[in-house]
Structure 1
Amino acid sequence: MKKVFALLIGLFLLPLSVQAADFKEGTHYDVIKQTATEKPEVLEFFSFYCPHCFKFEPLMKNLEQELPADVTVKKSHVNFLGGAMADEVTKAYAAADLLDVKEEVTSIIFDQIHVQRKAINNEQDILDIFAKAGISEKEAKGALASFPVNGMAAQMKRNTETFKVRGVPTLIVNGKYKVNTGSVKSTKEFTELVTFLTKKTD
């Protein structure tokens, strides 16, 4: 898997000259559910502790810019990486979403873990991250302990179980199709594949 994602990230810098591919089930994507969501969506399963997810961020940001306006892009943090702090970091992501500082907190956490090589060991470390994003300790504590955040964290855990996610990053499109990222050869083809799947329901 490491080789696959290293290759994919390397391809992010290649010229976007690939022609639209003939995407095939079993090669470029797998059907994992019988029915699709009513509205087009892309759900990325990730972990702040995953180096591949950190490197995958530029691809996802590019994808969000390229997808049609009616496609919703969501993220679901998994709890099977991170040890004792996995649940708390998932709640931190949910709280960041609730407080509308999701992008800021995501950037800070990824940088702290993968660039600074600094661990997140306790609640104070999480509160310090929110402080860097402009959120007071009182506000952050309130959000982390709130019913909506606990509900969002529980939903992310259910998402992981529902789609039987065992590795990250994993992309599920329209609740039905799992993207085989190792099958694509460029950023353009990756975007075309995901776009193709957002329009597919059969």
Structure 2
Amino acid sequence: MKKVFALLIGLVLLPLSVNAADFKEGTNYEVIKQTATEKPEVLEFFSFYCPHCFKFEPLMEKLAQDLPSDVTIKKSHVNFLGGAMADEVTKAYAAADLLDVKEEVTSIIFDRIHTQRKAISSQKDIIDIFAKAGVSEKDATAALASFPVNGMASQMKRNTENFKVRGVPTLIVNGKYKVNTGSVKSVEEFTELVTFLTKKTD
């Protein structure tokens, strides 16, 4: 996490232009699977409880703008942070996705935890978060208890286990390459590295 924090500071201070980088396995990325996904994708593992993930959000938003249109960005919430509420917050993220308020709920939760310094300690807190995103208590409660949301939450847990994620934020590209974020020195180089990996075929 310290490397990620250093990267975030560096991205603010360094110029945004770099020469074409010669990205190398073992330095800029690691191969963690033998086969890649059929279509290019970026999977970010994160936690609402992670301060580095909170600071990483603007970088991911910039990446979404700069990546080719055929690249899908997905996010998977991990359960090893957050204590007793970790599973419930993961379900809240899944429900927000189902209800098409993912951006709103993401912003509200990050702000609550890291700016307001307010804990999420009950189901009522989660319902209140959805209310701020414009979702009624009835709809939020139904979504949180639904089969699709439980399935999505279970899939996120499996993702964490399958990719052996132990820290966040972690980026997996095409299901095969793990980005070494500490190896890049600017926003542009970060985008170049991720774009390079989305196009890599070997």
Same fold at TM > 0.5: yes
Mapped to 2, the partners of 1:87 and 1:119 lie a distance apart of 15
**In the TM superposition, what whole-angstrom CA distance separates every residue of 1:140-196 from its partner, at most 9, and x where no partner exists?**
000000000000000000000000000000000000000000000111100000000
| Amino acid across the alignment from 2:173 | V
Q: TM-score, normalised by structure 2?
A: 0.98
Q: CA deviation at 1:20?
A: 1.6
CA distance in 2 between counterparts of 1:123 and 1:22 reads 48
Moved over 6 A (4+): none
In 1, Cα distance between the equivalents of 2:189 and 2:127?
40
Matched, 1:9 2:36: no
Alignment-mate amino acid for residue 5 of structure 2? A
The Cα offsets for residues 45-73 of structure 1, whole Å up to 9 and x where unpaired, read as 00000000000001000000000000000
CA contact 1:35–1:201 (8 Å) conserved in 2 = no
Aligned partners of 2:19 and 2:188: how far apart in 1? 9
Q: How does 1:114-193 map to 2 (within 5 A)?
A: 114-193=114-193
Letter paired with 1:176:
K
| Equivalent position of 2:56 in the other structure | 56
Q: Which amino acid aligns with 2:125?
A: D
Q: Is the 8 A contact 1:105 1:129 kept in 2?
A: yes
Cα shift readout 1:100-139 (whole Å, capped 9, x = no counterpart) = 0000000000000000000000000000000000000000
Aligned match of 2:19: 19
Query: SS of the counterpart of 2:26?
Result: coil
| Equivalent residue, structure 2, for 1:37 | 37
Deviation at 1:7, TM superposition (A): 1.7
Query: Hey, what does 2:65 align to over in structure 1?
Result: 65
Residue matched to 1:89: 89
- How many matched pairs? 201
Following TM superposition, by how much is the alpha carbon of 1:11 offset from its aligned partner in structure 2, in angstroms? 2.5
Q: CA RMSD in A?
A: 0.6
User: What residue ranges of structure 2 are gaps of 5+ in the alignment?
Assistant: none
State the partner residue of 1:77: 77
Q: Secondary structure at the match of 1:49?
A: coil
Equivalent residue letter for 1:185: K
CA distance in 1, matches of 2:86, 2:97: 17
> Is the 1:46–1:169 contact (alpha carbons within 8 Å) kept by the matching residues of 2?
yes
Return the alpha-carbon distance in structure 1 between the equivalents of residues 194 and 176 of structure 2.
12
Q: Which moved more, 1:13-22 or 1:110-119?
A: 13-22
Q: Name stretches of at least 5 consecutive residues in structure 1 with no aligned partner.
A: none
Aligned to 2:54, the other structure's residue is in SS state helix
- How does the TM-score come out when normalised to structure 1? 0.98
**Helix, strand or coil: the match of 2:168?**
coil
3-state SS, counterpart of residue 33 of structure 1: coil
Range that drifts further, 155-164 or 6-15? 6-15
Equivalent-residue separation in structure 1 for 2:83 and 2:19 (angstroms): 43
Q: Distance in 1 between matches of 2:90 and 2:201?
A: 31
- CA distance in 2 between partners of 1:20 and 1:190 (Å): 12
- Percentage of pairs with the same residue: 84
